[in-house]
Amino acid sequence: MLKSGRRAATGKCYPDQQMASEHWYNASSKNNKSPLVARLLGCQIENQMTLINSTLTRFTYNRRFATALLILCLSALASCASSPSQVVWLDVRTDAEFAEDHIEGSAHIPHEEIALRIADLGLDKDAEINVYCRSGKRAGIALATLQELGYTNAKNVGGIGDARELRD
């Protein structure tokens, strides 16, 4: 732990050196997430590189802190990169058709109810969604509704047979 008034190798005194050191100590040793750690673990890669750069630039005078922060940042980025984006398979056939036959693990919302119930799945607007029905017609209707709602990565994969082939 640095004490206030300690000078860095350059001979300059950095008044927030103690604060920076205490911030890292509190975030790492007490197992509670600081705002910085919580932001890094949020897996928003487009913002993380900017955050890493600005944070490291600000705290480079404290080598131990900067090294630990760099390791934390790299592990957060690696966990984001190593977790594949989950593909959602959405069956838009009727309840009776779904009960008769369905692909295991697929979400089910009849195409007439898609606008009302898609939010129940808790998906991001850029989540990869593969929509299917019996022949592809209702999947097309559901796809148009999803696109109107702002889902940008949804596609009609056709009928249930087509979906099975693509999924396997």
Point out the residues that are catalytic.
Answer: 133
| Contact status, residue 77 vs residue 83, Cβ threshold 8 Å | no
Read out DSSP for 72-96?
HHHHHHHHHHHSPPPEEEEE-S-HH
Spatial CA neighbour of 13 closest among 25, 23, 22, 4: 4
Spatial CA neighbour of 136 closest among 103, 100, 107, 111: 111
Per DSSP (E only), the strands in the chain are 87-91, 107-108, 128-133, 154-159
